[in-house]
Chain A
């Protein structure tokens, strides 16, 4: 594996640089096609509102994927991910005009054997925590 971050260079509490990812309706249409999840709440406002949502929302898995990208960009090699899990605590609401931002930050929560570390992630959109208990275990160099 070619993780670029060295196990010895991180400590419990090491913070990863925060990132903001923009999402608009076109991203959701692409994600629907790539993932096979064509639930219309992710691309039709009328359907989203009819089931009680404020507007079209991003696929939870799209948001989770942004967290994954955040971690793998830090580590360098996506193959370093040993496990990755999240709880979806609030939807990312994606208006037709302007889209939405997902702000992600993370820090090393635990160092384990075998060069593995646990990275705890925080993801927010429009002030709401959209992922909770978001943790990735990655094997560093």
Chain B
């Protein structure tokens, strides 16, 4: 089903603040099978020049899947038919334990590709102090019937 083009350019209100914890970073690193000590051990992280453990490069997906932006019924997205098309993270600095972050999501494009609908979403991950840490660019595909 065609997605509502009125959503192109729409920015959604920032998410509730999310505190990046050592425990969550460790859980995520374990889930991806990555034993790097810089994700687990503050001393190893400090030895590498970081103030505390940092998160794996793909960790921001935990907070940047688009969330409420995709659930608005007026958008017309059938979530059961959604697959991930593309993902890119651009970092200003690594995300680290102790960061309290908010995400603001903007739908930057919606277009048809054959029977599919493609939607591009941009999410800015900032600390509550306003420092931009990372921008996530996400393309999702709603498969046509």
Number of interface residues of B (CB under 8 A): 36
Number of A-B contacts (CB under 8 A): 111
Contact of B86 among A1, A77, A88 (CB under 8 A): A88
Q: Which residues of B contact A136 (CB under 8 A)?
A: 57
Q: Mark A60-92, 1 if CB is under 8 A from B, else 0.
A: 111011101101110011110111111110000
- Interface positions, chain B 13-35, Cβ under 8 Å from A, are 24, 27-28, 30-34
Answer yes or no: A11 CB below 8 A from chain B CBs.
Answer: no
Contact of A78 among B84, B85, B94 (CB under 8 A): B94
A31 adjacent to B56 (CB under 8 Å): no
Number of interface residues of A (CB under 8 A): 38
Contacts A69-B56, A72-B56, A73-B36; A64 near B87 (Cβ below 8 A): yes
B62 adjacent to A36 (CB under 8 Å): yes
Q: Which residues of A contact B54 (CB under 8 A)?
A: 78-79
Q: Which residues of B contact A60 (CB under 8 A)?
A: 83-84, 87
A85 adjacent to B137 (CB under 8 Å): yes
Q: Which residues of A contact B62 (CB under 8 A)?
A: 34-36
| B50: nearest chain-A partner, CB-CB | A79
Answer yes or no: B38 CB below 8 A from chain A CBs.
Answer: yes
B89 adjacent to A88 (CB under 8 Å): no
Q: Complex: how many Å from CA A21 to CA B35? A: 13
Contacts A60-B84, A72-B36, A85-B88; A30 near B30 (Cβ below 8 A): yes
| B134: nearest chain-A partner, CB-CB | A83
- Interface positions, chain A 2-37, Cβ under 8 Å from B, are 2, 21, 27, 30-31, 33-37
A68 adjacent to B36 (CB under 8 Å): no
- A93 to chain B: closest CB distance in Å? 14
B-to-A contact residues, CB < 8 Å: 24, 27-28, 30-34, 36, 38-39, 47-50, 54, 56-58, 61-62, 65, 80-81, 83-91, 93-94, 137
CB<8 Å pairs between A and B, sample of 17 = A33-B27, A34-B62, A35-B28, A61-B84, A62-B32, A64-B87, A65-B32, A68-B56, A68-B58, A69-B34, A69-B56, A77-B38, A78-B56, A79-B94, A81-B91, A81-B94, A82-B91
A-to-B contact residues, CB < 8 Å: 1-2, 21, 27, 30-31, 33-37, 51, 59-62, 64-66, 68-69, 71-73, 76-79, 81-88, 133, 136
